Amino acid sequence: MYLSNEVIVFLFTLFYMLSALLVYKMGKVWLQTFLVISYIITLCITAKFFDFFGFPTSAGVVTYAGLFLATDMLTERYGKDAGFQTVRIGFVMSLIFIAMTQANLLFQPLPYVKNVSDSMDIVFGSSARIMIAGFTVYLIAQHLDVWLYHKIHELTQEKWLWLRNNGSTFLSQALDSILFFTFAFYGTMPDDKFFEVLLVGMIMKWIIALFDTPFMYLAKRITPLDLITPPAENSSA
């Protein structure tokens, strides 16, 4: 069955948002794990580009943009410190991931698995620059997102959830897109194509940020399992 890229992006985004809600319900550790794994997946798929309504788009846009929703869910419920902690965990795990994948390229493969080895060399070798740019910008943009979210929260208290969700995300993703696409892709393609990729990537992230707003409101109505107080046991006289 043939599905257009646009339909796949919609289904992929919907699946990601629903998955974020599910792990959010399971609790803080589940959501932190989801964030770290999502970021590592993003590092692996960002180098793939496809046509989206006639524009070149990175496959990593959906998962990376979705990270901001999951981060906002985490910080809304568990606080700023939990958000910063998760960003740093993701940064360290990405460093370990990159070190291990680059070390893997040093092994000399057996002849009968050389095709598989060559494919791994292409995936992990060609994306080293992307990975380095990715985890550096991730640390900056995610810290900014958490800080902005709570700064807006302090000003608005419990009102205007949409504002702190979208306001922090829009600003941090704008900075993220400019830094990431510059560090990862500038000089690897013609300038006009580079600016097109940067602009489309930024707009895609903003569209996904708007799409995730209802999921943020749904999360607000959900109590994670680790915050549900068990009923007190009746003690016999």
**165 located within any domain:** yes
Rg of the chain taking only CA atoms, in angstroms: 20
The per-residue pLDDT string of the chain (237 residues; one tens digit each, 9 = 90 and over) reads 688 988 998 898 889 999 999 999 999 999 999 998 988 888 788 778 888 888 888 888 888 777 888 888 998 899 889 988 998 898 888 888 888 888 888 888 888 888 888 877 777 776 667 777 877 888 888 888 889 888 888 888 778 888 888 888 888 888 888 888 888 778 777 888 888 888 888 888 888 888 888 898 899 899 999 888 776 555 454
The domain in which residue 113 lies consists of 5-226
pTM, 2 dp: 0.81
pLDDT at 223: 92
Distance CA(10)–CA(211), nearest Å, equals 10
154 domain-assigned: yes
Q: Is residue 231 part of a domain?
A: no
Report if residue 235 sits inside a domain.
no
Is 237 inside any structural domain?
no
Q: What share of the chain is helix, strand, coil (3-state, %, to 5)?
A: 80, 5, 20
Tell me how many domains the chain contains: 1
95, part of any domain: yes
Residue 234 in any domain: the answer is no
169 falls within a domain:
yes
Rounded to an integer, what distance in angstroms lies between the CA atom of residue 232 and that of residue 237? Answer: 15
d(CA 115, CA 38): 27
Structure tokens at 18: 């629903």
* pLDDT, position 237: 44
Here the CATH number for the domain that contains residue 143 is: 1.10.1760
